[in-house]
Each structure stands twice: as C-alpha cells, then as structure tokens.
Amino acid sequence: MNRDSVIYVAGHNGMVGSALMRRLGTSGYTNLLIAGRRDLDLTDQREVFSFLRHHRPDYVVVAAAKVGGIVANNTYRAEFIYENLQIEANLVHGSYLAGVRNLLFLGSSCIYPKFASQPMPEECLLTGELEYTNEPYAIAKIAGIKLCESYNLQYGTNYLSVMPTNLYGLNDNFDLEKSHVLPAMLRKFHLAKCLMDNNWPAIRFDLDKYPVENIDGSASAEAIAGVLDRYGVSLRGDGVSMVRLWGTGKPRREFLYSDDLADACVFIMENVSFSDLCGERSAEVRNTHINIGTGEDISIGDLAAMIMRVTGFTGVFSFDASKPDGTPRKLQDVEKLSRLGWRYTVALEDGIGRMYKDYGSL
C-alpha cells in the first residue's frame, strides 16, 4: 500500500474498526474513507455497490459485523447469520464490481469445530461440528472466507481473510445482554464494587452511559438493584457484593488486545498477498486465511480473578453451572502469522488495566 492509498474501513466506529483507524493513522495513511450507519446501510446491496463504485477505494477492510457474546448469539440466531452474510457479500462482490483489487476480511475463531485439536491450526476448518450457540455467526464467517478465496481464484483479486481470537479493548461493547465475556465481566465487577462501596452516583453514571433493559441512572434504587440482580450483580445481607457468572468457569479462552489486532492487520496488508498463502499451487487451494492471536489461553475462572484484581473488587463471585459453557477450549495456532513475522505485544492483565482505565473515565 502507498501512504496516499484510499482505504475504506467498514465498521470504523466499532472496537476493531476504531483500532484500525488509529493504527493506520499512526502509520501515515492519510486517505481513510469512512461511512457511518446513517450514511450507508451495509446490508443494502444497492447502497453498498453505489458507494464503492463512486469512491473506488484502493483497499477495503471488512471490520463491520453483527457481533455479541454467547447470549446474543444464541438468542438472535437469524439476525446473526442474515446480517453478517449480507454485509460480507455486499462488500466483497461490490468491491469486485468497483475494481477494488485489495481487501481484508475479518472473521472469528468461532469458525473452527467445537472439539478441534488445540491449538487450532487453519487446516482444521470444516473438519467437525461447530459450537451450537454461535453456529449461525460461524457459518456466516466461513462463507466470508470462501467468498474471498473464490474471488481470488476466479478473478485474480487479492482478498485476504484473517481470523482474530477473542478480542477486547478500547471502545468495546459493554451491553450486559449482548457483549462478549471479558467486557461483560469487567462491567459486572465494576458495578459490584460500586454497589459494595454504596457509590450510587457511579452506578447511575454507568447506567446513563449503558442502560440495561431501559433502566438508566434516573431509575429508582430499587429498580436499579432489581435489574442488576437479574444480570448477576447483587448485595448480600452482610453488605458484601456478589457477582454470578455463566457456566462452570472451566472453559479456556485466548484474548487479544484490539490495538494488537490492528497492528497485525496493517502488517498483513503491507506485507502479505494471496499468492504467499497458497503454497504449492495445486487443484485444491484451501485454508488461506490467517489466525491472529497470542498463542496463549486462560480459564474463564482465572480470567474472573484477574478482572477482580484489576477493578479492585473485594466481594465474591460464583459460577452458575446450569448455564452453557460454550466451546471447552479455543486456542488458535498462530504459527503461520509468526512465520510471516508478527507477534503480539500487550499482555492480558496490562490490556485489561488499560481497558478499565478507559471505561472508568467515561
């Protein structure tokens, strides 16, 4: 890429997209193209095709997606598969029609089988059954990989796919119903700490920023306590706060700081082409996507204890084993990316600390 290349970042307001915007900016890319939801509906084919034909970017980054944690994925199954298929199909085909040669598609580690070998190499794609709770989302992301591969093979484009592990960082989603495990935990421990400290101004401030079931900071203390209790945050009779978390705490997850992901993406955009990923060209070209992660994981129980330390929460937490755990373990094999020359830099506890500092300043 040239520093004056027109780079369109779809989903620039999200955690991943905003991290990419920061990273591209610090790397000297000055011609960044963006469009908010009010200006461009990515599920509308006509709008997307027209936008791409008009602007004709040199590079398209597909960081836009409908995302969420285990509750949201399992509850809104139709929305997760439909909207993600629409977004990626519109952007990939629209880019091809507009003559865009270079594109980066961001997927997810949930594309891999529920009981894949650990750590999960790119080659285990489509070798087993997916985790049921996020199957619709995973299928949509697999379709995105195959879109990029197929357009490359048929049309000679350079559409790359990267599969980030579980992400966290600045501008994350803290909706208690729809967020991923780490930001949901961080918010629960923060609210539990405030509850234990009888810090109602902080609780009301938090709910004004992120209402829960339409309960904001103006609601009564009784209403606020009720909704927090429904989401696993409560105060015992002895004044000690409790946090209840889903599952057993035994599953293991890998987490990558969003700015590290952005750095990896820019590295790939600058240094990698589809031909580099095909190996010995044969009748079948598969698994050209690239895992992005740390190559290290942690149990959900240990993650909870880490977040408890970072937030300074001194109450107690427990797990509800009647709730689903999801995939037992999701650790990505990052050897391919390591061979290409990239490695993460932000340690998990340090990243959570940065995230909490930013969250507390809201």
Length of the chain: 362
Determine which one of 59, 137, 151, 159 is catalytic. 137
List of residues 6+ apart from 274 with CB closer than 8 A: 152, 157, 158, 159, 160, 288
- CA 132-136-139 angle, to 5 degrees, is 105
Whether the Cβ atoms of residue 10 and residue 17 lie closer than 8 Å to each other: yes
Spatial strand order in the sheet of 290-292: 32-33, 7-10, 59-62, 102-106, 158-164, 290-292
Would residue 356 show up in a list of annotated catalytic residues for this protein? Answer: no
126: left (phi over 0), alpha (psi -120 to 50) or beta: left
* CA terminus-to-terminus distance, the chain: 36
In 3D, which of 140, 144, 33 has the Cα closest to residue 83?
140
Q: How far apart are CA 35 and CA 37, in angstroms?
A: 7
For residues 362 and 358, what is the distance between their CA atoms, to the nearest angstrom? 7
Both structure tokens of 4? 């004056």
DSSP 110: G
Cα separation of 216 and 314, whole Å? Answer: 25
Q: What element of type H or E holds 193?
A: helix 181-196
Structure letter (DSSP) for residue 134: G
Task: List the structure tokens of 66.
Answer: 């409908």
Residue 242 parent element (H or E): strand 241-246
Helix (H, G, I), strand (E, B) or coil at 90: helix
CA distances for 287 relative to 72, 120, 150, 219, angstroms: 28, 12, 12, 51
* Nearest alpha carbon to residue 166 among 125, 120, 215: 120
Catalytic center residues = 137
